Each structure stands twice: as C-alpha cells, then as structure tokens.
Amino acid sequence: MSTRKKVLLKVIILGDSGVGKTSLMNQYVSRKFSNQYKATIGADFLTKEVMVDDRLVTMQIWDTAGQERFQSLGVAFYRGADCCVLVFDVSAPSSFKSLDSWRDEFLIQASPREPENFPFVCLANKVDLDNRSVPTKRSSAWAASKQMPYFETSAKEGLNVENAFLTIAKNALAQETDAAGSDLYSEFPDHITINANNGGSNSSKCC
C-alpha cells in the first residue's frame, strides 16, 4: 500500500436552478434521491473518497445556488476548482441555453491558470422524463464543440451518475497533476451552508 497523502479534488457543479445539481450530488455520494425540491442557498458541499488509477482521491463536490441573486456568492467557491460540471435539464431548453453563460462566468471568476485546457464535464439530467425537449444530438454536439465529456443522466434512477463522476474525478486528477496546486491537502469542515435573509425554501415535485 502506498503511504502517499490523499489527494483532495475540488469539483464545482453549475447550472440553472432546478436542473438537479443537488440531486446528482446526493445520488452519487449517498445513493439517495428525494422528490422534494429545496433550493440551495449559497453553496454547500459533500465529500466522497474514490479510487482513481490506484490513487485514493477525496472529491469535494460543491453544489452552488442557481438563482441569479446568489450567483455573486460563487466567486469564493470557484477559486481552486479542479473540475467544473455543467448541468442542464433535458426538459428545460432555457437551462441548456444557459450553459455558455455558466461556463464563461466560471472561467472569469475562477481564473484558472490555463482556461483553454481547464476540464469541464456536461451532464444532461432528467433523461428519465417523458417530456424531453433538448435532443441528444444538439446537446452532445455542443459539448463536443467545447471538447468536454458528455453524459446523459438521471439523478432519480442513478443512470450514468457513477460513470459521470468517475470521469469528473479522472479529469480533475489530471488537472491537479499538471498544476500541482498548493491546496491539495487542505482540511475542510464536513459541511458548510450559507443562509440568506429570506432563507425560506419552496417544496414542489422534482425529478
């Protein structure tokens, strides 16, 4: 067994409100899914240890608020990211159209050392629904044009979630290996939540 230190990878999940960012994270980390929708306030993260190419990696997965009024909170959380996951809802065309804006905003705020080589992964979520309105051909072509891996996922059914996050971990590890960042072994608390003044949450059906 190797005695080398565990690697900490910071992964940011971005996308419009309601696309399933929190559900994807919870499905991957704890294999749980809830039909109750609760908007993320500010940012929150979960961690999970995985083996990537015989290396023990701790993934720190940040789930950020999709509402416009909370986007200004993102700057501090984007910094130091090793991979960015862009999520849209296949039944909501507007969430797909927003991906360019989320990608551009991340690159501006995170200021990665080599923005043209920074690893992104695109997740087309809620493919279990019957009312799909963003064709696979269109969304996969967009991801290919940006040179990012593309997965069709269902947080509800767990479809492709494990495969997607394994790719995310591998790409983040490759980024970390190239950059040899100084924050790899930083220690973080287990749970952070930022509350807004109007921190009430709405409950409705979610996929």
Asked if residue 203 belongs to a domain, the reply is no
Q: Which residues pair with 10 in a beta bridge?
A: 60
Classify residue 201: in a domain, yes or no.
no
Per-residue pLDDT reduced to its tens digit, 139-195: 999 999 999 999 999 999 999 999 999 999 999 998 777 765 444 444 444 444 444
Who contacts 204 (Cβ-Cβ below 8 Å, separation ≥6)?
A: 36, 37
Residues 6+ apart with CB under 8 A from 1: none
Q: Domain for residue 134, yes or no?
A: yes
Q: Give pLDDT, residue 38.
A: 60
Residue numbers of the domain that contains 102? 7-179
Give the pLDDT confidence score for residue 84 in this predicted structure.
Answer: 96
- Asked if the structure places residue 192 within a domain, the reply is no
Please check whether residue 40 lies inside any domain of the structure. yes
Burial of 30 (0-12, 13-18, 19+ CB in 10 A): exposed
**The pLDDT of residue 100:** 97
Q: Could you identify the residue written with the tokens 């294999």?
A: 31
pLDDT tier at 10, thresholds 50, 70, 90: very high
How many domains does one find in the chain? 1
Residue 55, pLDDT > 70, answer yes
Q: Determine the longest span between alpha carbons in the chain, in angstroms.
A: 50
Give CA–CA dist 96/90, Å, rounded: 7
Is 185 among the domain residues?
Answer: no
The rounded mean pLDDT for the chain is: 81
In a domain, 164, yes or no: yes
CA–CA gap between residue 46 and residue 9 (Å, rounded): 12
Structural tokens at position 78: 């984007």
Say if residue 54's pLDDT is above 90. Answer: no
- Lowest model confidence (mean pLDDT) among 62-76, 126-140, 141-155: 62-76
Residue 26 lies in a domain: yes
Looking at per-residue confidence, does 67 or 160 come out higher? 160
Kindly report the pTM of this predicted structure. 0.79
Q: What is the pLDDT of residues 15-51, one digit of tens each?
A: 999 999 999 999 999 887 766 556 555 567 899 999 9
Confidence at residue 33, expressed as pLDDT on a 0 to 100 scale:
72
CATH number at residue 75: 3.40.50.300
